Amino acid sequence: MYSDAHIKMLISEDQLKTRVREMAEQLTRDYQEKELVVVAILKGALVFCSDLIRHIALPLEMEVLGVSSYTSGTETTGEVRLSFDLTKPLAGKHLLLVEDIVDTGLTVDFLINTFQARKPASIRICALLQKPARKRVHVPIDYVGFVVEDHFLVGYGLDYAERYRNLPFIGALKVV
């Protein structure tokens, strides 16, 4: 187990469950009669996305996408690249990009620009968390689970140096 001394719980497992279900219900209403492709952005969004899709009551396709933002410690350098692409064409489909957290906005901005060229019917962003304090580019986030303050967060898919992704709640890492 992880020592509690390093992590302060911010969003409980129950709060996550309730909010994820609400978001899925909203998506179910918004994507009626549409060809929906839900894309989990690896690795952070995997946990959120797998819970989310189980409450979307629509036929949908699920894809995964790898992006790397170069980091030094906990800071992004601002450069993003695609490390694992989608396997199917997007033309005419409704694309929902699922992110764990929108921080500077650079990742989502890069992905919107990249995928617009493939002529999907629509592109929307669904993020579990949004950290407005660190925004560097403006990107509209269509679905947001929780707006959070400027802490470094871990758990429920989010990592620090690849650790803590398996925590069932979201916590703030106390850097000592």
What positions carry a catalytic annotation?
103
**Which of 20-28, 46-54, 93-101, 114-122 is the region at the interface with ligand IMP (rule: CB under 6 A)?**
93-101
Q: Write the CA distances from 86 to 38, 62, 69, 115, integer angstroms.
A: 11, 10, 18, 10
Q: Is the peptide bond before 88 cis (omega within 30 degrees of 0)?
A: no
Nearer to ligand IMP (CB atom), residue 40 or residue 90:
40
Amino acid identity of residue 108, one-letter, is V
The reply to whether 107 sits near ligand IMP by the rule CB under 6 A is yes
DSSP strand pairing (7-11 vs 170-173): antiparallel
The reply to whether 64 sits near ligand IMP by the rule CB under 6 A is no
- The C-alpha angle 136, 130, 13, rounded to 5 degrees, equals 155
Q: How far is the CB of 93 from ligand IMP (least distance, A)?
A: 23
- Closest-CA residue to 43 (of 68, 80, 78, 60): 68
Q: How far is the CB of 139 from ligand IMP (least distance, A)?
A: 8
The reply to whether 170 sits near ligand IMP by the rule CB under 6 A is no
The reply to whether 44 sits near ligand IMP by the rule CB under 6 A is yes
Q: Write the CA distances from 136 to 44, 55, 131, 132, integer angstroms.
A: 20, 32, 11, 9
130 interacts with, out of Mg ion, ligand IMP, none, CB within 5 to 8 A per kind: none
120 interacts with, out of Mg ion, ligand IMP, none, CB within 5 to 8 A per kind: none
Site residues for ligand IMP, 4-43, by CB under 6 A, read none
DSSP count for the chain of H helices, then E strands:
3, 9
**Which of 40-48, 74-82, 83-91, 110-118 is the region at the interface with Mg ion (rule: CB under 5 A)?**
40-48
Interface contacts to ligand IMP, rule CB under 6 A: 44, 69, 76, 99-107, 152-153, 158
